[in-house]
């Protein structure tokens, strides 16, 4: 399963070997023990990739397999947006910071994570004078 963490500093993506049910139940227990609130809902998340990201074509098979839950949309001449369906968890329903969980087969999750890593590395290595 992929875990996308949205913070005020940006997006971080990681692979999680546990099931959705396990991750959600652990967060519910943690929330109850700390006395905080937790909002959980089904939803969609997205992230941008440069059109020239190496390996972007590897998603073609996954797009056919996950017709409604995984999509790529062209944003402009330079970027595409990858849209994922899954579970959103945050402190409130209006929160912009939180965690999004998306479950696909291992191969698709690996491809998505590698694409995000490649794009993230490309963006962080750009030097501005």
Mind listing the pLDDT tens digit for each residue in 110-119?
999 999 998 8
Residue 98 included in any domain: yes
Residue 129 included in any domain: no
Measured CA to CA, the distance from residue 30 to residue 26 in angstroms comes to 6
Mind listing the pLDDT tens digit for each residue in 61-107?
788 888 889 999 999 999 999 999 999 999 999 999 999 999 999 99
Residue 72 included in any domain: yes
Mean pLDDT of 42-67: 88
Residue 118 included in any domain: yes
Q: Provide the whole-model pTM.
A: 0.85
Per-residue model confidence (pLDDT) at position 122: 53
Residue 14 included in any domain: yes
- Its domain, for residue 64, covers 2-124
Residue 99 included in any domain: yes
Residue 89 included in any domain: yes
What's the total number of domains in the chain? 1
Measured CA to CA, the distance from residue 91 to residue 74 in angstroms comes to 31
Residue 77 included in any domain: yes
Q: Which residues contact 76 (CB under 8 A, 6 or more apart)?
A: none
Contact yes or no for 98/6 (Cβ under 8 A): yes
Is residue 34 within a helix (H) or strand (E), and if so which, with residue range? helix 20-34
């Amino acid at each position: 399963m992929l875990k996308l963490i949205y913070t005020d500093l940006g997006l971080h993506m990681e692979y999680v070997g546990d099931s959705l049910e396990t991750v959600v139940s652990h967060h519910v227990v943690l929330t109850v023990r700390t006395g905080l609130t937790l909002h959980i809902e089904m939803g969609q998340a997205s992230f941008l990739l440069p059109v020239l990201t190496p390996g972007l074509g590897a998603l073609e098979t996954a797009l056919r397999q996950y017709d409604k839950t995984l999509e790529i949309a062209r944003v402009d001449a330079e970027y595409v947006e990858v849209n994922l369906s899954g579970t959103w968890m945050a402190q409130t329903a209006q929160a912009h910071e939180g965690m999004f969980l998306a479950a696909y087969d291992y191969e698709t999750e690996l491809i998505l994570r590698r694409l995000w890593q490649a794009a993230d590395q490309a963006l962080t290595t750009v030097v501005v004078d």
